[in-house]
Structure formats: structure tokens, C-alpha cells
Amino acid sequence: MLSRVPYPTEKGDKLRAFHQIRCLSMNHEIILCALSDCMVDPEAETVLRKYCSEVHIIPVHKTGMIWNLIKAVFNGKPMQTGYFYRCKAKRKVQKLIEESKPDHIYCQLLRVAEYVRKTPLVKTLDYQDVFSMGMKRRMNTSPWWMKPFLKLEYNRLCRYEKEIFDDFTYKTIISAPDRDIIPHPDRQKIVIVPNGVDQAYFSPMNLPKNFDLVFTGNMGYPPNVNAAEFLAREIFPLVLKKILGARLLIAGANPHHKVLALKSEHVKVSGWMQDIRESYASSKIFIAPMRIGTGLQNKLLEAMSMKIPCITSPLANTALGAKEDEEILVGKTAAEYSDHIIRLLKNPALADNLAQKGYVFVKRTYDWEKSTAILENLIVSNEG
């Protein structure tokens, strides 16, 4: 049960779901049920049917969004849950469960937990990220007028993350740091299922280096918007003072108006790219100065797998687990980030060494088949 159709894989939850489906399909029959609040890619169903015996896409029209958000205000559920919940959709899900009689229900993200939490079957909930902590970090960097709403959502998410814990047989999450902040006393029972990276696809490419820096991601996602603004408005100007003519590429789908406003002579905002690998390969350095949000940054895995030297924040590297100053560089302030960038640009040998060690680290640590095998062990442990 997914809150989004897992194709194309331009968002982290969709990427995770797609590769888990692909790997699990080798040994299991998968019936996919996915909600959709937007136009579905015309190729999605064809691609997903390669791995699924059935594909059920349930539209959750935005016409009902406001009413469901209002209901969430009064029933105490998080807005995340209210946005994706529809009574009609739940009836369809329950009918599908009754007809297919699955051995195991896998539910990705608390957004859709309400659809199956009371169903008396073996179930796994993939928290994936800690939504409450992500909301708290957004609250700390948001305008004053948004803080009361974000605080309300934070409190509700904390309560809901704890409340649904015991409704599921198994719980999974991307990383140990995320697991350790889930607000439940039995959080250590949550199984860590890390993300992977398609190492055959995200492999080194030889393209002209038209950009000095690149930052990628879904550019409508608040943590990415925040990082893009921090990069373009505070970090990059310091770089330009020392590296005249330096160029920054901000690449990714759905750029927010705040991201589009960052365009300049030295900053390109590309929007959706048909092949995101070109953004990595055309740049000398990848940077992800994440200040809010939670979870493992797939963008870092992809860049490192393509042998691009990477710079990120303590927040992102805590989940990643790369060796600081050996496999990755870590910065906290705009000055620290700019110093790292300038040092790498002026010392190609240092940049190549960092890229090589980061590449080896990702090849050794992040593999979709290995990580999904952990999930599969949970599924088969209850069979028979």
C-alpha cells in the first residue's frame, strides 16, 4: 500500500518502493495498491506490471482534499494522514484485501496507515523517515506565522507515530539515527532497511564539466527548497569571491517559486531532467547542504556512485555514515561549505581522491538487493 505511484522515481519514497517491488518480485507475487493525487505517468502501469501480478491505482482527487484536512483538524489525525485518506478509497482497499487474501500487507509511510492498521493480517509499516522530526526542523526555520500550524502538526505526528506502532506486526525504517528518535519505548524493535543505489545505472560518465557545483532533488520538497536557498544565497556568493565565473546547477523536478527565483548569471535552475545523471556528470562537485528533513539522501548515494566528490551537512551524513574528511566533506556554516568547495576546485587531486573513496564506500555499503533482502526476511518469517 503506497501513497504514490512508484514510477517515475523522482521522489525518495517512490524510488524506495520501486526497487523494493523489483527485488521482491523475484520470489513473491506482488499486488500493488497505490494512491494517486495527480496525473499518472502513461508508462507507469506498463513498467510496474513487469514486477506486479496486479496494479491498482486509486485516485484521491484534490477536490476532497480541503474537506479531509478539515476533518483531520477535528479528529486529531495529522494533516499528512488527512490529505491522503478517502472513505471511498478505503472501501476499495478493503475489498481488494478480501478478494486477494494476501499473506502479508506492506504499508509505506504513515500517510496510508489508516487504510490497513485495523486489518487483522500480518502487516509491516515502513516509517521510512521520522515525519515528526522533519516537521520540527521545518518549524525551526519557518516564518513566525507558520510556526503555530507546524507545531500542531508536529505534536499530532509524534502522537500518531507512537499510536500506530502496535497496529503493525513489523516496523522498518531507513537508518539507525531515524529509528532512535521514533517516539515509542520499543523503538529498538524497528528493523533498519537502508536504501540502495542502482550502481549499474548511476555509474561514472565522461561529460564536459560545465558546472562547478550541482545540487539535485525534488525542488518542491521543503527541505530541498531550504537547502537550495542556503546554497545559492549564502554559500555560493562566498565561492564566487574566490572562484570568478563559478557556476552552480540546481536540478530536479517541480521547482518551487523560491527555487526559480535563484536563477542568475551564475546559477542555473534546470527543472525536470530526463536523465538526472547528466546533472551529476556535468559538475565537478556535488553538494547537499541539508538543514531540515530526515532520512537518507538518495542524491548523495547517486552522486558518490557516479564518482563525484561530495559535500554535505552533519544531519545528512549521520544517516549516510560516510567517513568525514575521507569519503565525504561535511560543513555546518556557509563559510565552512565554501572553504570545502574552494579547496576541492583548486586541488583536483584532492577532489579525485575524495570521489574515489566515496565511490568505494557506496559500492560496499548500499545495494538494493542486499537491503531488500532484510525486508524479505521479515515477510517470509511469518509464512507458513
- My answer on whether 222 and 265 are in the same domain is yes
CATH of the domain at 157: 3.40.50.2000
Number of domains in the chain: 2
Longest dimension (CA), the chain: 66
Average the pLDDT over 139-143 and give the result. 88
Query: Is pLDDT at 173 greater than 90 in this prediction?
Result: yes
Domain residues for the domain of 238 are: 211-365
| 7 lies in some domain | no
- My answer on whether 226 and 352 are in the same domain is yes
- My answer on whether 251 and 113 are in the same domain is no
- My answer on whether 79 and 179 are in the same domain is yes
Question: Which grid cell is 354?
Answer: 575524495
- My answer on whether 303 and 165 are in the same domain is no
Cα 5 to its chain centre, rounded Å, is 14
- My answer on whether 322 and 374 are in the same domain is no
Which helix (H) or strand (E) segment holds residue 191: the answer is strand 191-192
- My answer on whether 168 and 264 are in the same domain is no
| 5 lies in some domain | no
- My answer on whether 294 and 346 are in the same domain is yes
DSSP string, 233-263: IIIHHHHHHHSTT--EEEE-SS--HHHHTT-
| 102 lies in some domain | yes
| 127 lies in some domain | yes
pLDDT tens by residue, 203-230: 999 999 999 999 999 999 999 999 999 9
- My answer on whether 277 and 355 are in the same domain is yes
- My answer on whether 119 and 187 are in the same domain is yes
Strands 267-271 and 170-173: unpaired
pLDDT tens by residue, 330-351: 999 999 999 999 999 999 999 9
Least confident of 22-31, 84-93, 257-266: 84-93
3-state secondary structure of 86: coil
| 91 lies in some domain | yes
**Residue count (the chain):** 384
Query: Is pLDDT at 270 greater than 60 in this prediction?
Result: yes
With bands split at pLDDT 50, 70 and 90, how would you rate the model's confidence at 383? low
Average the pLDDT over 110-129 and give the result. 96
User: Rounded mean pLDDT of the chain?
Assistant: 95
With bands split at pLDDT 50, 70 and 90, how would you rate the model's confidence at 28? very high
- My answer on whether 216 and 132 are in the same domain is no
Question: What span, in angstroms and rounded, lies between the C-alpha atoms of 40 and 292?
Answer: 29
- My answer on whether 150 and 293 are in the same domain is no
With bands split at pLDDT 50, 70 and 90, how would you rate the model's confidence at 171? very high
pLDDT exceeding 70 applies to what percent of the chain? 99
What pLDDT does residue 75 have?
86
| 6 lies in some domain | no
pLDDT exceeding 90 applies to what percent of the chain? 89
| 236 lies in some domain | yes
Query: Is pLDDT at 384 greater than 70 in this prediction?
Result: no
Least confident of 75-79, 119-123, 192-196, 213-217: 75-79
Question: What span, in angstroms and rounded, lies between the C-alpha atoms of 312 and 293?
Answer: 13
Query: Is pLDDT at 368 greater than 90 in this prediction?
Result: yes
* Residue 123 DSSP label: E
Query: Is pLDDT at 45 greater than 90 in this prediction?
Result: yes
133 neighbors 157 (Cβ within 8 angstroms): no
What pLDDT does residue 72 have?
80
